[in-house]
Amino acid sequence: MKTKRHGAVVGLIAAGALLLTACGSDNNAGTGGTSSAAASGTAVECGGKAKLNAEGSSAQKNAIDTFIQAYKAKCSGADLAYNPSGSGSGVKNFNAGQVDFAGSDSALSKDKGEVEAAAKRCATGPAWHLPLVFGPVALGYKLEGVKDLVLNGEVTAKIFNGTVKKWNAPEIKALNSGATLPDKDIKVVYRSDEAGTTDNFQKYLKIASKGAWTQGDGKQFKGGVGEGKEKSAGVAQAAGSVDGAITYVELSFAQDNKLSIAKIDAGQGAVELTNETVGKAIDGAKLKGEGNDLVLDLDSIYGTTASGAYPLLLATYEIVCSKGYDADTAKAIRAFLTVAATDGQAGLVDAGYAPLPKAFQDKVLAAIKAIA
């Protein structure tokens, strides 16, 4: 697990509504089912299945590592194995009953039959989406001599669909007055595996590009240009090794590979990816799911023109059965997710994520309690 991050993340969402209360350190709850108080005052009923299995989003891998550490500290003898195979693979294997829950950076698709397949897998109730992590997505690039770059939704779309091919193209120059931009080819790096990060990025482009992105969205990249690499680590490593490269990737991976990060101009001036700008964007998130199915409507974030809001984010979900687990599995899942939504959130800043906003934390805990 990563334990330290670049200064842009240290202190991320460090005040206000996005902070969780300080977490407790008691570690006296064993797998026999003894209760202990979590950071929010919520009781964690440990016990049930000794080792859970989950799979999915590589973007949330570092967050899951943080959650596992908190879970093992809170519930002695408990563990969880997480395979960061990508959101698409995680959803497929959850729906096939091969893992206890899935991690995904986008909601299940009704059009692709994922909602129906999940309900069939759960047998006695629908699947729920529980947003446990918000993560900024960086436009990470490597360009010798250029450390301060501004892009907007329209130009970013044109880069990732091949319309803008050179770093000194007029469209980029117009956003970077006074900057010396090289006459160098832009080398796009994209996720080749199915990824919720790709889905969120393409949804952002569709909304923020003023019609420049016509390729659609989904977990497969549809821009038609560039070089594909698997998983978040793969695209970040590839972009970091080639001068002139650009990719879309979660902030922690951009930092790990020493990529420069573009500012985004959504109409109110260039906005840097910082604690404050991410917090302003998250404040605008709305729910579109019903009841305990906490699907987020992020369109208002992607299309925001609010001053000082960084608009390119993803929400990481844990996709679980609302009903249908055996008693031991349900008990362990409730325990793990309760710890993740409380004590585990305290470690997310250092792992490169934004902790769960308090408004969503209460909703998530209510949904977790209702899992049967």
CATH number at 136-279: 3.40.190.10
- In eight-state DSSP terms, residue 356 is P
Q: Measured between alpha carbons, how far is 58 from 102 in angstroms, rounded to an integer? A: 11
Per-residue pLDDT of the chain (372 residues; tens, 9 = 90+): 333 344 444 334 333 333 333 333 333 334 444 444 454 567 899 999 999 999 999 889 989 999 999 999 999 999 999 999 989 999 999 999 999 999 998 899 999 999 999 999 999 999 999 999 888 899 999 999 999 999 999 999 999 999 999 999 999 999 999 999 999 999 999 999 988 889 999 999 999 999 999 999 998 999 999 999 999 999 999 999 999 999 999 888 999 999 999 999 999 899 999 877 887 888 777 888 889 999 988 888 898 888 899 999 988 899 999 999 999 999 999 999 999 999 999 988 888 788 877 777 899 999 999 999
pLDDT of residue 287: 87
Q: Which CATH architecture has domain 16-133+318-370?
A: 3-Layer(aba) Sandwich (3.40)
pLDDT score, position 338: 98
Helix (H) / strand (E) containing 132 = strand 127-142
Res 41: pLDDT: 62
What's CA 153's distance to the chain center, in Å? Answer: 19
Contact of 82 with 94, CB cutoff 8 Å:
no
Same fold across 16-133+318-370 and 136-279: yes
pTM: 0.73
Tokens 């977490």, residue located: 23
* Token pair recorded at residue 120: 């069939």
Angle at 69 between CA 38 and CA 126, to 5 degrees: 70
Rg of the chain on CA atoms, in Å: 20
The reported pLDDT for the residue numbered 264 is: 98
Q: What is the domain partition of the chain in residue ranges? A: 16-133+318-370, 136-279
Q: What are phi and psi of 81, to 5 degrees?
A: -105, 125
Report yes or no: 372 and 321 within 8 Å, Cβ to Cβ.
no
